[in-house]
Amino acid sequence: MDVFKFLATQILGQPPILVGLVACLGLIVQRKPIHAIISGTMKTVVGFLILVIGAVTIVNVLSPIGPLLENAFGFKGVVPNDEAIGAVALMQYGSEGALVMVVGFLVNILVARFTKYKYIYLTGHHLLYTALLITVLLKVHLNLSGFPLIIVGGIILGIYCPLTIALVQPYMKKVTGGAPIAYAHSTNLGAFLGGFLGQYVGNPEDSTENIKLPEWLSFFRDTTLSTGFTMILIFVAIMLIVGPIAAAKQVAGGQNWLIWAIMQGLQFGAGVTVLLSGVRMLIAEIVPAFKGFSEKIVPDALPGLDCPVVMPYAPTAWILGFLISFPIGVILTFVMAGMNFKYLLIAGVVPHFFASGPAAVFGNATGGKKGAILAAVVSAVLISFGNAMLIPLTGPLANSGTTWGEMEYGIWGTLFGYVVKFIGRMF
């Protein structure tokens, strides 16, 4: 079991390694020369690592916002953070959860090989977080353990992965212009709803990326500058709301509050730039390499990749989605407090950025600006209420102070939780 746990957490659970192995296998199958195999594999891994560095920078910049607002408004509750709940779940359910992930990945390959759903879920960390959630729900409500838990959980995970990708793929084609990649993330449902609803409210030609700006604002067409400047304004506003002196003491480490806010915004712009660079490098390497994998092992399969792969197609939509979604999430935190939710879900900046941003990209692809706005609003509501409803279903983890943060967990996870809870009561 330790071997399988190592395989799941250290290989399959590490997206750069998993994607690199797939690229390596694809190049080997194509009988590329050894130098091309090494080069293609390393560039794939490095591209993913660059993407991760950009994402980590963004997360680090956003992370102080939650505590600032929590202290300012007196919020006390559960913080949605996939990495945090993943660490807690691994401590309590790690062995079985890791094996569920391994079995699920193998079942995903079999489903892709023998059905029309030819998608391979390569976003390893969310594969692990989903496996852990399935493990927790099966264990808490059906009292499964050991071999039955691993097999049942693995089959559920392996079927879920290609199906959730297939749900989004028609709209992914619209986003990317038909690029041979798929979308595999814990925000697939939000991406689907964004694309589905967008087509009914707007025109894709009225894109967020075509917003006309006066000449003195033309620098906003540069993603680095527009995102950085926007985040500077957000941080300055938050510091003024909270109180510059108190806020500076809490998060700025003695630095002048205005300088700190400016630097946070510029770091955000730098993080976005690095992330986009990694995405471009990753796609340039993984697409031709995966071609060999799909031709020989799973014919016509597409690689399901992490959510940042769609950001270059509509970066303005992504930022717009976040700017609309997060304030709604904060408002809904107050609403849930007034409704006396047993577990109060604090609006998480990171989930709103990485869930509602992509949703707006898909909404923009089918409905332009109106589609992006609607997608962000729907995403904000669903990740707020959905994940709040998931918490009571997670047994002992409900009191951990953190929970899963994105829409797949909050909607599908909650529905699955109630299904297994109902089955458990029957038997």
Integer angstrom CA distances of residue 396 from 92, 101, 171: 10, 21, 38
**For the chain, what is the radius of gyration of the CA atoms?**
21
Integer angstrom CA distances of residue 227 from 208, 221, 307, 420: 14, 10, 18, 43
Residue 371: predicted pLDDT = 97
Residue 373: predicted pLDDT = 97
User: Among candidates 212, 194, 223, 211, which has minimal Cα distance to 355?
Assistant: 194
Dihedral of alpha carbons 57, 58, 60, 64, sign = positive
pTM of the model: 0.80
Q: List alpha helices for 30-81, DSSP H.
A: 34-62, 65-73
Which residues, in sequence order, are bridge partners of residue 137? none
Cβ pair 80, 345 in contact under 8 A: yes
Residue 215: predicted pLDDT = 65
Specify the amino acid at residue 32: K
CA distance 183 to 309: 8
The enclosing H or E element of 318 equals helix 315-338
CA distance 194 to 197: 6
Per-residue pLDDT of the chain (427 residues; tens, 9 = 90+): 567 667 666 776 676 887 788 788 888 888 889 999 999 899 988 988 887 788 788 778 877 776 776 666 666 678 788 877 887 887 788 778 878 888 898 899 999 999 999 999 988 788 888 999 999 999 999 999 888 999 999 999 999 999 999 999 999 999 999 999 999 999 999 999 999 999 999 999 999 988 776 666 556 566 677 778 877 887 888 788 777 777 667 677 777 888 888 888 898 888 878 877 887 787 778 777 777 766 778 888 899 998 889 988 998 899 899 989 989 998 998 899 888 888 888 888 788 988 999 999 999 999 999 999 999 999 999 999 999 999 999 999 988 888 998 999 999 999 999 999 999 998 7
Task: Name the pairing type of β-strands 302-305 and 119-121.
Answer: parallel
- Longest Cα pair distance anywhere in the chain, in angstroms? 68
Integer angstrom CA distances of residue 179 from 43, 71, 164, 304, 321: 19, 45, 18, 12, 23
CA of residue 252 relative to chain centroid, distance: 28
CA distance 374 to 372: 6
Residue 5: predicted pLDDT = 65
Task: Name the pairing type of β-strands 119-121 and 79-80.
Answer: unpaired
